Structure 1
Amino acid sequence: MPKSEAIPEDEARDIEFEIKKKIACAGSNVSEIVRRLNEKYGTHDTAPNITRQLKHGTLPFWKLLRIADVLGYELIWRKLESQTRGDLKRLE
Protein backbone atom coordinates (compact mmCIF):
# COMPACT_ATOMS: atom_id res chain seq x y z
CA MET A 1 0.00 0.00 0.00
CA PRO A 2 1.42 3.41 -0.91
CA LYS A 3 2.43 5.66 1.96
CA SER A 4 0.02 8.52 2.67
CA GLU A 5 1.31 12.04 2.25
CA ALA A 6 1.34 14.00 5.52
CA ILE A 7 -0.42 17.32 5.91
CA PRO A 8 1.21 20.36 7.54
CA GLU A 9 1.95 19.88 11.24
CA ASP A 10 -0.43 22.59 12.46
CA GLU A 11 -3.33 21.12 10.46
CA ALA A 12 -2.54 17.63 11.76
CA ARG A 13 -2.50 18.98 15.33
CA ASP A 14 -5.90 20.67 14.85
CA ILE A 15 -7.43 17.50 13.42
CA GLU A 16 -5.89 15.34 16.16
CA PHE A 17 -7.27 17.72 18.81
CA GLU A 18 -10.76 17.63 17.27
CA ILE A 19 -10.87 13.84 17.05
CA LYS A 20 -9.50 13.38 20.57
CA LYS A 21 -12.04 15.93 21.83
CA LYS A 22 -14.88 13.87 20.32
CA ILE A 23 -13.43 10.72 21.90
CA ALA A 24 -13.17 12.42 25.31
CA CYS A 25 -16.72 13.84 25.04
CA ALA A 26 -17.91 10.28 24.47
CA GLY A 27 -16.29 9.37 27.81
CA SER A 28 -13.70 7.22 26.10
CA ASN A 29 -10.01 7.18 25.14
CA VAL A 30 -7.98 6.12 22.11
CA SER A 31 -7.27 2.64 23.53
CA GLU A 32 -10.96 1.96 24.06
CA ILE A 33 -11.88 3.26 20.61
CA VAL A 34 -9.22 1.06 19.00
CA ARG A 35 -10.56 -1.94 20.92
CA ARG A 36 -14.06 -1.18 19.63
CA LEU A 37 -12.78 -0.66 16.07
CA ASN A 38 -10.96 -3.99 16.12
CA GLU A 39 -13.99 -5.76 17.54
CA LYS A 40 -16.49 -4.26 15.09
CA TYR A 41 -14.36 -4.36 11.94
CA GLY A 42 -12.08 -7.33 12.61
CA THR A 43 -8.96 -5.17 12.36
CA HIS A 44 -5.73 -5.36 14.37
CA ASP A 45 -4.92 -1.70 14.98
CA THR A 46 -3.14 -0.50 18.10
CA ALA A 47 -3.63 2.71 20.07
CA PRO A 48 0.00 3.81 19.43
CA ASN A 49 -0.50 3.29 15.68
CA ILE A 50 -3.71 5.38 15.56
CA THR A 51 -2.13 8.06 17.77
CA ARG A 52 0.93 8.19 15.47
CA GLN A 53 -1.30 8.51 12.39
CA LEU A 54 -3.20 11.36 14.05
CA LYS A 55 -0.02 13.16 15.10
CA HIS A 56 1.53 12.88 11.62
CA GLY A 57 -1.64 13.67 9.69
CA THR A 58 -1.66 10.30 7.93
CA LEU A 59 -4.88 8.78 9.29
CA PRO A 60 -6.73 7.42 6.25
CA PHE A 61 -10.21 8.80 5.68
CA TRP A 62 -11.73 5.31 5.92
CA LYS A 63 -10.34 4.98 9.46
CA LEU A 64 -11.80 8.36 10.36
CA LEU A 65 -15.18 7.15 9.08
CA ARG A 66 -14.88 4.06 11.27
CA ILE A 67 -13.85 6.09 14.33
CA ALA A 68 -16.86 8.35 13.77
CA ASP A 69 -19.06 5.27 13.48
CA VAL A 70 -17.98 3.71 16.78
CA LEU A 71 -18.43 7.12 18.45
CA GLY A 72 -21.97 7.34 17.05
CA TYR A 73 -21.29 10.06 14.48
CA GLU A 74 -22.00 10.33 10.78
CA LEU A 75 -19.63 12.47 8.70
CA ILE A 76 -21.47 14.54 6.11
CA TRP A 77 -20.09 16.62 3.27
CA ARG A 78 -21.95 19.91 3.02
CA LYS A 79 -21.33 22.67 0.48
CA LEU A 80 -20.34 25.95 2.15
CA GLU A 81 -22.73 28.87 1.64
CA SER A 82 -20.06 31.26 0.36
CA GLN A 83 -18.90 28.76 -2.27
CA THR A 84 -22.45 28.01 -3.35
CA ARG A 85 -23.12 31.70 -4.02
CA GLY A 86 -19.87 32.01 -5.96
CA ASP A 87 -20.78 29.01 -8.08
CA LEU A 88 -24.17 30.55 -8.87
CA LYS A 89 -22.59 33.83 -9.99
CA ARG A 90 -20.37 31.97 -12.45
CA LEU A 91 -23.39 30.22 -13.92
CA GLU A 92 -25.28 33.49 -14.58
Structure 2
Amino acid sequence: MAKDKAGKWYTTPKTLNEQLALDEAMTGPNIITDKRKRIKDDIKGDPRIPAYSCIDKWSYSVQIFDSKTGKRIENIQIHYLADRNIGIKFDFKFKID
Protein backbone atom coordinates (compact mmCIF):
# COMPACT_ATOMS: atom_id res chain seq x y z
CA MET A 1 0.00 0.00 0.00
CA ALA A 2 1.02 3.58 -0.51
CA LYS A 3 2.37 5.76 2.26
CA ASP A 4 -0.06 8.09 3.99
CA LYS A 5 -0.04 11.62 2.58
CA ALA A 6 -0.72 14.19 5.26
CA GLY A 7 -4.17 15.72 5.01
CA LYS A 8 -5.34 14.11 1.76
CA TRP A 9 -5.09 10.31 1.90
CA TYR A 10 -4.79 7.38 4.25
CA THR A 11 -4.26 3.68 3.55
CA THR A 12 -5.69 1.86 6.57
CA PRO A 13 -9.47 1.50 6.94
CA LYS A 14 -10.79 3.37 10.00
CA THR A 15 -14.30 1.86 10.11
CA LEU A 16 -15.98 -1.43 9.27
CA ASN A 17 -17.71 0.26 6.33
CA GLU A 18 -14.33 1.34 4.96
CA GLN A 19 -12.96 -2.20 5.35
CA LEU A 20 -15.96 -3.63 3.50
CA ALA A 21 -15.62 -1.03 0.72
CA LEU A 22 -11.89 -1.78 0.40
CA ASP A 23 -12.55 -5.52 0.20
CA GLU A 24 -15.14 -4.92 -2.53
CA ALA A 25 -12.82 -2.60 -4.48
CA MET A 26 -9.96 -5.10 -4.26
CA THR A 27 -11.95 -8.17 -5.30
CA GLY A 28 -14.62 -6.68 -7.54
CA PRO A 29 -14.73 -7.13 -11.30
CA ASN A 30 -12.39 -5.22 -13.61
CA ILE A 31 -15.27 -3.45 -15.35
CA ILE A 32 -16.80 -0.02 -14.92
CA THR A 33 -19.87 -0.18 -12.71
CA ASP A 34 -21.91 2.46 -10.94
CA LYS A 35 -19.33 2.44 -8.11
CA ARG A 36 -16.13 2.37 -10.20
CA LYS A 37 -14.88 5.15 -12.40
CA ARG A 38 -11.72 5.36 -14.48
CA ILE A 39 -10.07 8.64 -13.53
CA LYS A 40 -7.08 8.63 -15.82
CA ASP A 41 -5.82 6.37 -18.61
CA ASP A 42 -2.16 5.41 -18.83
CA ILE A 43 -0.53 6.92 -15.73
CA LYS A 44 2.70 8.63 -16.77
CA GLY A 45 5.37 10.32 -14.70
CA ASP A 46 5.12 8.07 -11.63
CA PRO A 47 8.62 6.66 -11.02
CA ARG A 48 7.12 3.38 -9.73
CA ILE A 49 5.41 2.65 -13.05
CA PRO A 50 7.27 1.81 -16.28
CA ALA A 51 6.51 4.08 -19.23
CA TYR A 52 5.36 1.13 -21.36
CA SER A 53 2.76 -0.11 -18.85
CA CYS A 54 -1.02 0.02 -19.24
CA ILE A 55 -1.84 1.36 -15.78
CA ASP A 56 -5.03 3.35 -15.21
CA LYS A 57 -6.13 5.29 -12.12
CA TRP A 58 -9.55 4.26 -10.75
CA SER A 59 -11.95 5.52 -8.13
CA TYR A 60 -14.42 3.39 -6.14
CA SER A 61 -17.13 5.20 -4.18
CA VAL A 62 -19.66 4.04 -1.61
CA GLN A 63 -22.21 6.22 0.16
CA ILE A 64 -23.76 5.04 3.42
CA PHE A 65 -27.20 6.43 4.35
CA ASP A 66 -29.08 6.46 7.65
CA SER A 67 -32.05 4.11 7.21
CA LYS A 68 -34.33 6.28 9.37
CA THR A 69 -33.56 9.77 8.13
CA GLY A 70 -32.27 9.02 4.64
CA LYS A 71 -29.33 11.36 5.21
CA ARG A 72 -25.86 10.43 4.01
CA ILE A 73 -23.72 9.57 7.03
CA GLU A 74 -20.57 8.37 5.31
CA ASN A 75 -18.96 8.88 1.91
CA ILE A 76 -16.12 6.46 1.20
CA GLN A 77 -13.88 7.12 -1.78
CA ILE A 78 -11.01 4.80 -2.62
CA HIS A 79 -8.46 5.52 -5.34
CA TYR A 80 -6.27 2.79 -6.77
CA LEU A 81 -4.22 1.82 -9.80
CA ALA A 82 -5.00 -1.12 -12.08
CA ASP A 83 -3.04 -2.78 -14.87
CA ARG A 84 -5.61 -3.39 -17.60
CA ASN A 85 -3.48 -6.06 -19.32
CA ILE A 86 -3.11 -8.44 -16.38
CA GLY A 87 -5.89 -7.23 -14.06
CA ILE A 88 -3.74 -6.46 -11.02
CA LYS A 89 -4.98 -3.70 -8.70
CA PHE A 90 -2.63 -1.91 -6.30
CA ASP A 91 -1.86 1.31 -4.41
CA PHE A 92 -5.25 1.50 -2.66
CA LYS A 93 -5.84 4.65 -0.61
CA PHE A 94 -8.79 6.43 0.98
CA LYS A 95 -9.49 10.02 0.01
CA ILE A 96 -10.49 12.45 2.75
CA ASP A 97 -13.58 14.50 1.82
TM > 0.5 fold call: no
Structure (1 or 2) with the greater helix fraction: 1
TM-score, normalisation: structure 1: 0.24
* Bigger proportion of residues as strand: 2
Higher relative contact order (CA 8 A, sep 6+): 1
Larger CA Rg, structure 1 vs 2: 1
